Amino acid sequence: MKIARAALLAVFPAELTLVVLLLSGADVPAGLILAAEAAVPAVLALELTVACRVFAAARRDGADRRAALREVRDRLVPRQVLRLAGFELKGNHSLLLWAARRRSGVPEGAVEVSYAREQTFTQSLWLFAMTVELVGFEILLRGLGVPDWLRILVLVVDVYGLLMALGMWAACVTRPHVVTRDELRLRSGAYFDARIPRDRIAAVRSVRNLNETGLIRVEDGTAAVVVASRTNLVVELTEPVTIVRPMGARAEVRAIRFFADDPAAALTALRTSPAPAPSPELALEP
């Protein structure tokens, strides 16, 4: 299993490097080309063999086909790769939500707590700089007479990088913190999502921290969900909750600091007693 995972991670970058060398006109030894071409089917055969064995073992243990396929995915593909791919998919989805002026995970009757406004200026500067770099590099490559295939490849990579940055910003806008009758949902774009039952919240109060570090930090049982090096609210819990950090590591925390564009509104929503759930009898009345 370890060999299969390592081979899967190594073969694609190696093949891409070889293709770039060949297209650029580099003198690549014929033996290296043959070895690379032989490695691809060998790695694919190894992956297929391991996948079939994992799938068959899962089926023998009683898993259905979908669960067995998930087992193959989880065993062969490293968790970090899956999470990075998930971040990218959520970013692309957020672009669509942003264009449609919609929000993700904000049910009817919930209180939306935004945190993206503080990042608007910085994100705008970042996107502007990336756009200038894209245009400037395109002009430079044209002036140097770089082959069209290489210039187009660089342009595609730059445009995709710009879309990824825009998706990160869109994720912060379309995935706000949410306060519902049952829970407080804290998020940081596509990278962090923690659900805290409201019956575990002991207290919520304002803070003023201007020198926070990192994006999601856990220290001494306290998590910090940081925006622009700032947090301005803290939730203290009656018992620990488990959070999942961006790359999949889990931690138990008894308090969480986070940032809200309007901390007063967030405090009001969290200090308001949740409305009782409607009883089935009342729900059936005409």
- Residue position matching structure tokens 């979908």: 66
Which of 135, 159, 174 is the C-terminal boundary of a domain?
174
| The pLDDT value given to residue 33 | 67
Domain of 21 in residue numbering reads as 2-77
Tell me if 35 is assigned to some domain: yes
Across the range 203-228, mean pLDDT stands at: 92
Across the range 219-226, mean pLDDT stands at: 94
- Say yes or no: 186 and 263 in one domain: yes
Tell me if 154 is assigned to some domain: yes
Which of 77, 111, 131 is the C-terminal boundary of a domain?
77
pLDDT tens, residue by residue, 28-71: 677 776 776 677 677 778 778 888 888 888 888 888 888 888 88
Residue 263: strand, helix, or coil: helix
Least confident of 21-25, 68-72, 162-166, 207-211: 21-25
- Tell me the pLDDT of the chain averaged across its residues: 84
Answer whether residue 230 shows pLDDT above 60: yes
- Say yes or no: 246 and 265 in one domain: yes
Across the range 18-29, mean pLDDT stands at: 61
Res. 242 pLDDT band, cuts 50 70 90: very high
Could you give the CA distance from residue 264 to residue 67 in angstroms, rounded to a whole number?
45
Tell me if 284 is assigned to some domain: no
Res. 98 pLDDT band, cuts 50 70 90: very high
The 3-state secondary structure of 134-200, one letter per residue: HHHHHHHHHHCCCCHHHHHHHHHHHHHHHHHHHHHHHHHHHCCEEECCCEEEEEECCCEEEEEEHHH
Q: How many domains does the chain have?
A: 3
Res. 256 pLDDT band, cuts 50 70 90: very high
User: Considering only CA atoms, which of 214, 174, 207, 213 is closest in space to residue 193?
Assistant: 174
| The pLDDT value given to residue 281 | 45
Tell me if 196 is assigned to some domain: yes
